[in-house]
Amino acid sequence: LAKTTQPPSMEAYEGQEVNVSCSHTNIATSEYIYWYRQVPHQGPQFIIQGYKDYVVNEVASLFISADRKLSTLSLPWVSLRDAAVYYCIVTVRGSALGRLHFGAGTQLIVIP
């Protein structure tokens, strides 16, 4: 399974757009990119998934580079509720081998 690298922490002011990057240089053609977030004292929550190009949902958007080695999670207009640890995970979709491997993630600090 591909290893991911994320910045350990980021800061943003409320109302700003935040972009969290994730490097996955050894991603395999069978692997997808998933983003989760975890607020304190809760379990992780799925945000978005993608394979290539650009994906958007009601919560976030995900841009994946053409070579699929870099992805960027974009959160528009962050609020204090978005303060959490964001995890980028690369794994096989729809397969018994598709287990989640959580790294240390990126701690997003939101400043009022």
Partner 1 sequence: EAAVTQSPRSKVAVTGGKVTLSCHQTNNHDYMYWYRQDTGHGLRLIHYSYVADSTEKGDIPDGYKASRPSQENFSLILELASLSQTAVYFCASTTGNYAEQFFGPGTRLTVL
By CB under 8 A, name the binding residues for partner 1: 32, 34, 41-46, 49, 87, 89, 91-96, 98-105
| Nearest distance from C-beta of residue 16 to partner 1, angstroms | 26
User: What count of residues does the chain have?
Assistant: 112
Q: Which of 99, 83, 112 is nearest to 2 (CA)?
A: 99
Tokens matching residue 102: 């959580």
Compare residues 15 and 103 and give the one whose CB is closer to partner 1.
Answer: 103
| Nearest distance from C-beta of residue 96 to partner 1, angstroms | 7
Compare residues 22 and 32 and give the one whose CB is closer to partner 1.
Answer: 32
Q: Quick count: other Cβ atoms within 10 Å of Cβ 72?
A: 15
Compare residues 20 and 89 and give the one whose CB is closer to partner 1.
Answer: 89
8-state DSSP, 80: G
Tokens matching residue 2: 């591909």
